[in-house]
Amino acid sequence: MADLRTPPLQAWQRANVVAAANCLREQLAKSPGDARLLAAYEGLLDLLDPARARARQQREQAQAARQAATAIRAERRRTERRLGDRRRIDRGPSGPERRNGADRRTGRDRRGR
């Protein structure tokens, strides 16, 4: 497996990234709904702390897996043939009544054939 670690930031690089993150945080306070600003801010924080980036990626992957499992479960429920509502529907008799006492053979008639 390839080594995906980035080399540590030098002091001047770290200072610039922190300054940019602070600037973006101020902008986010003014417009909290801006997704682009939030993504840029989160990216800078991930650059400062790679462990934070890995934790975020794991959370996103776990959330995606949960959503996929929920979607698959919902699809199975939707397409399941043995649904409970099929059994609840009263369709009446499905054919001629077979349990008629007069048609039943007893005694000798039953064994004679």
Q: Does residue 1 register a pLDDT over 50?
A: no
Place of tokens 């039953």: 110
Q: Does residue 91 register a pLDDT over 80?
A: no
Q: What is the pLDDT of residues 35-70, one digit of tens each?
A: 999 999 998 998 888 888 889 889 999 999 999 999
Sort 24 into a burial class: Cβ within 10 Å, 0-12 / 13-18 / 19+.
buried
Averaged over 56-85, what is the pLDDT?
83
pLDDT at 23: 93
pLDDT at 94: 67
Q: How far apart are CA 98 and CA 84, in angstroms?
A: 27
Q: How far apart are CA 47 and CA 57, in angstroms?
A: 13
Higher pLDDT among residues 9 and 67, named by residue: 67
pLDDT at 7: 77
Percentage of the chain modeled with pLDDT above 70: 65
Q: Is the pTM of this model over 0.85?
A: no
Angle at 73 between CA 60 and CA 70, to 5 degrees: 20
Place of tokens 């000798």: 108
pLDDT at 33: 87
Q: How far apart are CA 96 and CA 94, in angstroms?
A: 7
Residues in the chain: 113
Sort 84 into a burial class: Cβ within 10 Å, 0-12 / 13-18 / 19+.
exposed
pLDDT at 100: 61
